[in-house]
Amino acid sequence: MSKGIRVASTTRTLAWAWFLGVVLMACPAAGQQKEAPLPPESEEPGTRRLSLDEVIKMAREQSPSYQQAVTQLENRTWQFQTYKSNYLPQLALYATLPSYTKDFERVTDPNTGDIRFVGVQSAVSSGHLELKQNIGLTGGVISIDSKLQRIDNNGGHSYASNPVVVTLRQPVFNHNGLKWDRKTEPLRYEEAKRNFWEEMERIAIRATDLYFSQLQSQIGYDIAQKNVANNDTLFKIAQNRFYEAKISVNELLQLELSLLTSRQSLEQAKLDIETSTLRLKTYLGFTENYPIRLLAPDQIPQFQVDEEQALKQARENRSRMIGIIREQMDAERNLDWAEASAGVNADLFLQYGLTQRADNFGPVYEDPVSQQRINVGFSVPLMDWGRNKSKIGTAKANLKLVKANLEQQRVSFEQDVFLQVKRFKMLREQMKIAQQANGLAERRFLGAKDRYLSGKIGLLDLNQAATERDSARRSYVSSLRNFWDAYYNLRLQTLYDFETNQPLTMPLPF
């Protein structure tokens, strides 16, 4: 009887072995061993390891976004230099050497009134040296000129000079653009500088986003490699245990399916990491084709952030607060222009100088006589059918609207800063919890693997532990990503470094 039982058991074992052979022949990917994947710790030759700080530093020094920010700041700097030059003396030299004419000109005889054409040959040479200065307080212009002219006509020549001529051109009741420029242009330049510093933080945020996109792909690739290695080991062990009739064919096939699925996931992970690496290199402006591996920024800065302090620093440092003041001034400037252009406009022209003429160069500067010119012109609108009134009304309404919008922007700005501080604090706590969960999940999987190999738990329990380990690892990296994003957004919102307790002002690149 026992002999029959042993024969039946042996027959069943041979049947299972024959069935397994058929399965392995039908699925060569499972029966034949591919090249073993590299462990996560191994790297390709020439791999460059980069930290988050190094990536951000490179982005701030060589990325196309940095070059664009520098160009914008440089453009604004030259505009500011142009503004300052408007209040400085301008010296210019104008000359004509010479203006030659040979032609027939129509001439009227003063005695008879006859008109006839007379051949004319002349050359006029002139020089004009001018020193000009804008008057910012009044919007006028004062200039000092020195002129010399020579005329060569039909073989003879003569000279005329103006050794010194002082001229004042002064608008009266007009809009004084120089006065308003003195108020707004320094604000525009300061706004541009702070925009540049803010752009450096935006570059850091973008670099951080791309950094963690690759890091998550890298973690996914490492997880996929580990899963392939673990599933391959478990499948080999399961084959031996199946031949010993310790597990069922269903469990063996499930392990084989897990191995195939993990290999498929590994191929997708390879594509993901290649894509994310290309995006990061493109943003950083990399031209080298070496592989890179990123280091997880596990060490987070420890500092306290107070909402009131953050609001105070944001009000003092952000370009938007300067922009609010500047935009209101622009609206007030438009109103001043509308009111000035709608009323009486007058222009005053005063000129005093010395002049002389002579047939030779020497005497042209001897005993000059005085020269005076006075000109006052004005315009008064008499009938415009309400056009000027409409311009003033439009400017006043626009100023009122701008003030209301800017006040709303100020409130929204402060709310954003307040919420960013709250978000930063919350994400820092979430990251600590995710870090603990990641360590626990890893230890749980290692324990589950040992218990499975010793036969104390089933395959479902092992798969559950592996899934939770992978999920915890990804959740931890995601929490790291959210934290560092909030960290650099907090710096952007306040332009303040809470670690060193100082504003984020850096030397300009030129």
What is the three-state SS of 402-432? HHHHHHHHHHHHHHHHHHHHHHHHHHHHHHH
pTM value surpassing 0.85: no
Residues 51 and 297: beta-carbon distance below 8 Å: yes
Question: DSSP string covering 270-326, please?
Answer: HHHHHHHHHHHHHHHT------EEEPP----------HHHHHHHHHHH-HHHHHHHH
- What residues does each domain of the chain span? 44-76+183-327+404-503, 94-102+117-135+140-172+348-380
Span 307-326, mean pLDDT? 93
Q: Is the pLDDT of residue 347 over 90?
A: no
Residue labelled with tokens 């041979």 = 14
DSSP helix/strand/coil, 474:
helix
pLDDT tens for each residue of 430-475? 988 998 998 999 899 889 888 878 878 877 788 788 888 888 888 9
Tell me which residue of 486, 502, 475 sits closest to 208, measured CA to CA.
Answer: 486
Cα separations in angstroms, 420 against 310, 378, 408: 10, 58, 18
Per-residue confidence band for 23, with pLDDT thresholds at 50, 70 and 90: very low
Per-residue confidence band for 12, with pLDDT thresholds at 50, 70 and 90: very low
Report the alpha-carbon distance of residue 451 to residue 410 in Å, rounded: 61
Kindly report the number of other CB atoms within 10 A of residue 221's CB atom: 22
- List residues bridging with 354 in a β-sheet: 370
Tell me which residue of 193, 484, 182, 183 sits closest to 317, measured CA to CA.
Answer: 193
Span 398-405, mean pLDDT? 92
Residues 139 and 177: beta-carbon distance below 8 Å: yes
Which pLDDT score is estimated for 183?
Answer: 93
Give the residue with greater pLDDT, 143 vs 111: 143
Report the alpha-carbon distance of residue 279 to residue 294 in Å, rounded: 14
User: What tokens does 210 get?
Assistant: 């791309």
Q: Is the pLDDT of residue 41 over 70?
A: no
Q: Under the phi-then-psi rule, with left for phi > 0, alpha for psi from -120 to 50, and beta for the rest, what region is 386?
A: left
Phi/psi for 149 (5° steps) reads: -130, 150
Cα separations in angstroms, 337 against 145, 343, 388, 436, 450: 31, 10, 11, 65, 84
Tell me which residue of 376, 44, 53 sits closest to 218, measured CA to CA.
Answer: 44
pLDDT tens for each residue of 218-277? 998 988 998 898 888 888 888 887 887 777 888 888 888 988 988 999 999 999 999 999
Domain 44-76+183-327+404-503: CATH superfamily is Outer membrane efflux proteins (OEP) (1.20.1600.10)
Q: Could you tell me the sign of the dihedral formed by the alpha carbons of 485, 490, 491, 492, in that order?
A: positive
Give the residue with greater pLDDT, 13 vs 300: 300
Residues 417 and 311: beta-carbon distance below 8 Å: yes
Span 395-409, mean pLDDT? 92
Residue labelled with tokens 């160009």 = 71
Span 187-203, mean pLDDT? 95
Report the alpha-carbon distance of residue 323 to residue 184 in Å, rounded: 10
- List residues bridging with 294 in a β-sheet: 50
User: What tokens does 302 get?
Assistant: 């420890």
pLDDT tens for each residue of 277-304? 999 999 998 877 888 899 989 888 888 8
pLDDT tens for each residue of 471-509? 888 899 999 999 999 999 999 999 999 999 999 887 888
Q: Is the pLDDT of residue 5 over 70?
A: no
Q: Is the pLDDT of residue 342 over 50?
A: yes
Which pLDDT score is estimated for 464?
Answer: 85
Which pLDDT score is estimated for 365?
Answer: 81
Give the residue with greater pLDDT, 12 vs 249: 249
Phi/psi for 496 (5° steps) reads: -145, 140
Q: Is the pLDDT of residue 3 over 80?
A: no
Span 333-342, mean pLDDT? 88
Report the alpha-carbon distance of residue 249 to residue 318 in Å, rounded: 68
pLDDT tens for each residue of 81-128? 999 999 999 999 999 888 888 888 888 888 887 888 887 788 889 999
Average pLDDT, the chain: 84
pLDDT tens for each residue of 369-391? 888 888 877 777 777 788 888 88
Which pLDDT score is estimated for 43?
Answer: 62
Report the alpha-carbon distance of residue 348 to residue 373 in Å, rounded: 11
